[in-house]
């Protein structure tokens, strides 16, 4: 591994992954890409940051056949997707799905790229009482047209990458991560627990699987350093009932009928602008869905090790992020 291209690099996950790669001290070059104009993380001579709009096909092409080639990037970690749960429309789809397809197609004919790691989500799995509570990689996918665009986009992007496995000259790995309990990661559980009062379906207390940023980035690092191809579930070290998660976050749980929760959260979102979307969670807040990570353990050597910090989101202090330089020499085109 000589160089890694990381998309979505300014998210909490992206920053942590970049810092992890820089900490390897094996001379790996990191080309970090995101929409933000400035890089908010640590500075390092091996890090090159490039602000870029991945929805623009020309920008992606110039990224790969410009800076990525010049830096001899051989691994791509594609984790970019729209951060807002509620966002929808063509532009969101362009980032979530079209950019993934574009990256993959261009990487396949790239002179230096050999491996493509797609960082997806376990959100794509269907959770139901009649389905196994332990979710393997061949578990049914959530294909319901009623699901919000976020889920449908994630399913489409995941399958877009999966369909090239075995056909592509690249070595491809798809990671389906358990929910990352952190801000800026689209974590529905984090948004859910940001309210002092949490409504949950009466009579049901499903098991959830939550992963820490440390484990999510460690699994990704293992995947990009490996040659193993295929789909890998990446579970977290926190498998616990919904009620316990609420208790750990020091929130008040109010069990009510499931049919009432949707309207309540819709009203709350309109009044307070919260990101929590009941339609995304109505199944997994009733039926258990825990990732089976046997394949990731066997082929990547990954086992969850780091617990989530169950601090109530509202109690967290936001540390100021350092502002560092943008490597203008690598700029492909100005961000829009």
Partner 1 sequence: MGLAGHVTRAVTRALLPAAEQERLAGLQLHDAGHGWDRLGMHPDSVKLSAATTRFLYEVWFRVDSRGAEGIPSTGPVILAANHAGLLPLDGVMLWADVLRHTSPPRVVRMVADTFVPRLPFVGTAFSRTGVVGGNRATVDRLLDDGELLGVFPEGVPGIAKPSSERYQLRPFRVGHAELAIQHGAPIVPVGIVGSEEQWPELARIESFHLWGAPYLPIPATPLPLPVRYRIRYGTPIDPRARFSARQADDPGAARALAREVQAAVQALIDQGLRERKGLFR
Footprint of partner 1 (CB under 8 A): 129-134, 136, 139, 202-207, 237-241, 244, 247, 287-288, 290, 292, 294, 304, 307
CB 140 to partner 1: min, Å: 11
Nearer to partner 1, 237 or 264 (CB): 237
Q: Work out how close the CB of 19 gets to partner 1 at its nearest, in angstroms, rounded to a whole number.
A: 25
Q: CA 40 from chain center: how many Å?
A: 18
Please report how close the Cβ of residue 244 comes to partner 1 at its closest, in angstroms: 6
Query: How would DSSP label each residue in 47-90?
Result: EEEEE--TT-HHHHHHHIIIIIHHTT--EEEE----S-SS--SH
Nearer of residues 114 and 204 to partner 1, judged by Cβ: 204
CB of 172 to partner 1, least distance (A): 24
Report DSSP state, residue 44: -
Our CB check for partner 1 shows the closer of 1 and 131 to be 131
* Contact indicator for 226, 128 with CB cutoff of 8 Å: no
d(CA 160, CA 28): 28
CA dist 125 and 142 (Å) reads 5
Residue 288 CB neighbours (<10 A) = 21
Q: What angle do CA 126, 131, 134 make, to 5 degrees?
A: 85
Nearer to partner 1, 46 or 204 (CB): 204
Q: Which is nearer to partner 1, 259 or 317 (CB)?
A: 259
* Shortest Cβ 56–partner 1 spacing (Å): 42
CB 254 within 8 A of CB 243: no
């Amino acid at each position: 591994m000589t160089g890694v291209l990381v998309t979505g690099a300014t998210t909490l996950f992206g920053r942590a992954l970049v810092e992890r790669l820089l900490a390897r001290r094996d001379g790996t070059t990191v080309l970090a890409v995101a929409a933000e104009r400035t890089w908010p993380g640590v500075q390092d001579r091996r890090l090159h940051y490039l602000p870029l709009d991945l929805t623009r096909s020309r920008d992606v092409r110039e990224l790969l056949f410009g800076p990525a080639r010049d830096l001899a990037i051989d691994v791509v970690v594609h984790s970019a997707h729209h951060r807002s749960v509620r966002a929808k429309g063509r532009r969101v789809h362009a980032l979530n799905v079209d950019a993934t397809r574009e990256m993959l197609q261009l990487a396949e004919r790239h002179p230096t790229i050999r491996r493509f790691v797609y960082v997806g989500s376990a959100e794509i799995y269907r959770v139901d009482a009649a389905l196994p509570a332990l979710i393997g990689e061949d578990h049914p996918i959530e294909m319901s047209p009623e699901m919000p665009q976020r889920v449908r986009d994630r399913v489409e992007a995941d399958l877009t990458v999966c369909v090239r496995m075995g056909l592509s000259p690249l070595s491809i790995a798809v990671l389906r991560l358990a929910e990352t309990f952190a801000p800026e990661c689209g974590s529905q559980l984090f948004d859910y627990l940001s309210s002092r009062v949490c409504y949950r379906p009466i009579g049901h207390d499903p098991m959830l699987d939550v992963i820490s940023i440390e484990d999510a980035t460690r699994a990704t690092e293992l995947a990009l350093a490996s040659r193993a191809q295929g789909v890998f579930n990446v579970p977290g070290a926190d498998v616990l009932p919904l009620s316990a998660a609420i208790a750990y976050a020091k929130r008040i749980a109010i069990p009510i009928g499931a049919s009432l929760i949707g309207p309540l959260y819709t009203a709350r979102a309109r009044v307070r602008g919260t990101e929590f979307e009941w339609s995304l969670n109505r199944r997994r807040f009733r039926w258990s869905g825990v990732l089976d990570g046997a394949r990731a353990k066997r082929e990547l050597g990954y086992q969850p090790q780091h617990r989530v910090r169950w601090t109530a989101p509202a109690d967290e202090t936001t540390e100021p992020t350092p502002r560092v330089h943008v490597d203008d020499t690598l700029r492909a085109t100005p961000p829009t």
